[in-house]
Amino acid sequence: MTSSPLFFILLCVCIKICSADHQNLQDFCPTATTTKQTIFVNGFPCKDPSNITASDFKSSKMNGSGDTDNFLRSAVTIVTAADFPGLNTLGLSVARTDLEVDGMVVLHSHPRATETLFVYKGVVLAGFLDTQNQLFQTKIREGDVFVFPRGLPHFCVNVGFEVATLYSVLNSQNPGEVSISGAYLEPDKDMLHKLVNNYI
């Protein structure tokens, strides 16, 4: 019977995922990327139905590691309906995160989406802050999933000894990003590490 709570959690996540953006009124509506936008709607206008092909529902944008040659030794590739036509009106985005050893994604939030973070490779410390400023963080490993509730500031740090690869699903076709650390200070890596290490 241990699978019942898990099933319930998965069901809740699925209901949440399916209900975040506005409900779809047709099977699909791949983004019309070539036509000049003359009307402005909540989302993107649909492609001419006679021109829709399977390639509208495929993306190769996460097929390789992002460029981690930077100060934070990390790369996030987020693919929204703007970059992946098939996602338009479906209420989902996907992302890939690559973290070198000690690499990190600093505090940020997505105002319109909950994010599930799946570890494909590596050991990562992931956490978020709630509206009471309480920190919830834990180490996640290959095969684990962590969830960042909608709108709450979150981060992740590679605390393992190899490169980490993570994939996310977000329940909005346009999750948005508010970068909290960058808003008022340049991220100081040593300080962030001390902060994180104090909590481990």
Ligand X SMILES: *[C@@H]1O[C@H](CO)[C@@H](O)[C@H](O)[C@H]1NC(C)=O
**Residues lying near ligand X in the complex (CB under 6 A):** 34, 48, 51, 60, 63-64
What minimum distance in Å lies between the beta carbon of 51 and ligand X? 4
Asked if residue 122 lies in contact with residue 162, where contact means CB atoms within 8 angstroms, the answer is: yes
Give every CB contact of residue 84 below 8 A, 6+ residues apart in sequence: 31, 59, 61, 93, 94
Give every CB contact of residue 48 below 8 A, 6+ residues apart in sequence: 32
**Nearer CB in complex with ligand X: 51/70:** 51
Q: Is 162 annotated as a binding-site member? A: no
What minimum distance in Å lies between the beta carbon of 60 and ligand X? 4
Asked if residue 130 lies in contact with residue 109, where contact means CB atoms within 8 angstroms, the answer is: no
**Nearer CB in complex with ligand X: 22/58:** 58
What minimum distance in Å lies between the beta carbon of 1 and ligand X? 43
- Distance in angstroms between the alpha carbons of the first and the last residue of the chain: 32
**Nearer CB in complex with ligand X: 136/167:** 167
Asked if residue 63 lies in contact with residue 120, where contact means CB atoms within 8 angstroms, the answer is: no
Q: Is 193 annotated as a binding-site member? A: no
**Nearer CB in complex with ligand X: 3/26:** 26
Q: Which residue of this chain has its Cβ atom nearest to ligand X in the complex? A: 60
CA distance 80 to 94: 7
Structure tokens at 167: 């994939």
What minimum distance in Å lies between the beta carbon of 79 and ligand X? 12
Q: Is 108 annotated as a binding-site member? A: yes
Query: Which residue positions form the known binding site?
Result: 108, 110, 115, 154
Query: Which residue positions form the known binding site for oxalate?
Result: 110, 115
Query: Which residue positions form the known binding site for Mn(2+)?
Result: 108, 110, 115, 154
